[in-house]
Structure 1
Amino acid sequence: MTIDHFFQAAKIEGFQSPYDTIHLKIFYPARMPSQVEINREILPVDLEKAPFPVVIFFNGFNCDAQQYQWLAVKLAEHGLVVILFNWIAEVMPGIISLTPGIDVEKRKPTIYRTVPTASALPALLAKVEQLQSEGILAGMLDLQRIILGGHSAGGRVAIENADPDFFPQIAASFGYGLHTMATLSLGYEADTILPLPDSLPLLLMGGTCDGIIANSCDRYGISPGNATTPVIRTFQEAITGGRNDSYLLLLEGANHFSINQPDSTLKTPLLDFPATQPQESFRLLMGEIINLFIDTHVRHQPEASQSLEQLLNTPNPLIKSFERK
């Protein structure tokens, strides 16, 4: 399938210029143009799987959206519209970085779970509605089937804001390299797992060689060195489940950055552990599992459910463990 993209921008309320603008890259299934259409700047839409569910993906801190383009293409090839975005903001006084948009104040003990924590999400959802009303994707989006996904801090933003009480158009969420342990500096007791909405399908993924998680345990008041315990405990304690649509997948030998194309100029990967298996293999597997998860629980395709069960239950050197509840 041919995939094309175009760019958009949006303003974020409550932030001062120049840090009040996000830049979006929107991927969609395309077809080769006819002779009449050949001079268009972007390719026409392939309508075969329209109306398209929409995936909004939140990058990790200081991870450029371009590092997740491989996943955007994989999902768009499957008949989804995918939005990546970059937001450069002052995340702390004097510190300018790429951010997935986290309102840390909304994670404090007296506030958490009463309001959304995703600063950019209202603007992103408004942009999706605008795309539905004008432009090349007008009338082709399924506004009631929006999926939130993300990596690291962005993955946590995705899964803790997949709440129909806040955003009724959200249908599911997925994330890699994250957990919901509470930060001591926000006033929580050590070893606290924060709850998740627990009302929509969830795919939680982690790697056994995640050095970023293992080396940041002191923030949460737990013993350092374990890459998977915070992820496992999030699945066990943050949600009740009971619908058979929540998944925990641990990848054997994957590290914190197995989901994105590497950027050698970032210092954060220096804190990570080396992956013990090819990163491309992890990305191919994650792309397949995310697509099947969406087909099963958002598009409600029985054949996808069977394929997902078979994939997760078949012995695979890349899969350490799999749980569902």
Structure 2
Amino acid sequence: MTVRAFYDAAKVGEALAPYDTIHLKIYYPASLDDSMEQINMGVVPARADSAPWPVAIFMPGTNVPVESYAWLAKELAGSGIVTVLYSWIKEDMPGFICLSPGIELKNLTPSTFGSAPTASALPALYSALERINSGGVLQNRLDLSAIIIGGHSAGGSAALLNNNPAWFPWLKGCFTYAAHAAASTQLGFANDSMLNICPDLPYLLMAGSRDGVIAASSFRYGDDKASVSTDRIERTFSESIDREQGDTHFVKIRGANHFSFTHPTDSTTGRQFLDWEHEGSDDDIRSCMATLIISFIKGQLLGDSAEMNTFSKTIDNNQLIAEHHCK
């Protein structure tokens, strides 16, 4: 399967220059030909079959470069899920310029949470997808009524908190790794608060048993000392999501740490120095994650019975699955 990608950009209306532009990289199933456009410019046409395709928008961790998620984008696009990775350098907090998933902190306080989206990147990304679907290599190839959001770390938390069809009616569901819905005391929430998130769509929450970053970050939520690495992810599943339709999952992956989801990992940015050593093969861990994500999207969200079976078999038979709960 040939996978190709191209770049694009989107303006964020309320953001101030120079931090008002998101840069996109869109991965898609492609078909090599001998056209002059391909030879001259490297523009490869989309594969002709099976379109329109669902779309996954992936929200990155803070200061994690887009290249670290290319492995997943290639896997998703190769299975027929067009995937959008993006980079947005912005000022998340006063004086803190970072590579951000696009978090709107003003909507993430005790008095504002739940009243409006906290993911300021999503409207601009959807507008860009509408434009991309109207012309060019992916003209009429995108199913804009079947969009899935995913994310890692802070980007995963942004995905969890915005998986809401009242705000974004084109959403089908959400997948995350190393992300939870705990509320930061720095934003005014009481110690050990968990945010309620929209129960109207399915979720796949994945956690790593060796996640040192989440454990070391527990002070943000009022803990006096480091917590269990997966505790708040499990509590997000059990306490924050009031959904009982058999399509929402918590999966703990044996031996995975916080940055097992990234490849390659850039240790010059982000907080890799907090992580614990992973156990086992990172390649096997990522392969397990990709299988779970693809079969969750195509099976649970899009109704492919064979993919539902793949998800179940992976849960039952893969030795990397340390724990699974469904509701």
Using structure 2 for the length normalisation, give the TM-score: 0.96
Corresponding position of 2:29: 29
Corresponding position of 2:238: 236
Listed as ranges, the matches of 1:82-231 within 5 Å are 82-222=83-223, 223-231=225-233
Corresponding position of 2:248: 246
1:95: how far off?
2.1
- Tell whether 2:315 aligns with 1:312: yes
2-structure distance, mates of 1:104, 1:44: 40
Contact 1:5 1:42 in 2 (8 A): no
SS in 1 for 2:258: coil
1:38: how far off?
4.4
Corresponding position of 1:301: 304
Instruction: Could you tell me which runs of 5 or more consecutive residues in structure 2 were left unpaired when the two chains were aligned.
Output: none
Contact 2:60 2:101 in 1 (8 A): yes
Instruction: Could you tell me which runs of 5 or more consecutive residues in structure 1 were left unpaired when the two chains were aligned.
Output: none
Between the two proteins, the alignment pairs up a number of residues equal to 324
Contact 1:172 1:297 in 2 (8 A): no
1-structure distance, mates of 2:243, 2:270: 37
1-structure distance, mates of 2:243, 2:222: 26
Using structure 1 for the length normalisation, give the TM-score: 0.97
1-structure distance, mates of 2:249, 2:257: 19
CA deviation profile, 1:196-249 (whole Å, cap 9, x unmatched): 111111100111111111001111113423101111111000012211110101
Does the C-alpha gap of structure 1 residues 35 and 25 become closer, same or farther in structure 2, counting only changes over 3 Å? closer
SS in 2 for 1:257: helix
Corresponding position of 2:71: 70
- Tell whether 2:266 aligns with 1:263: yes
Does the C-alpha gap of structure 1 residues 93 and 36 become closer, same or farther in structure 2, counting only changes over 3 Å? closer
1:319: how far off?
1.4
SS in 2 for 1:105: helix
Contact 1:88 1:96 in 2 (8 A): yes
SS in 2 for 1:288: helix
Contact 1:102 1:117 in 2 (8 A): yes
In angstroms, what is the RMSD of aligned CA positions? 1.3
Does the C-alpha gap of structure 1 residues 89 and 311 become closer, same or farther in structure 2, counting only changes over 3 Å? same
Contact 1:12 1:120 in 2 (8 A): yes
SS in 1 for 2:49: helix
2-structure distance, mates of 1:34, 1:52: 24
2-structure distance, mates of 1:92, 1:240: 31
Corresponding position of 1:286: 289
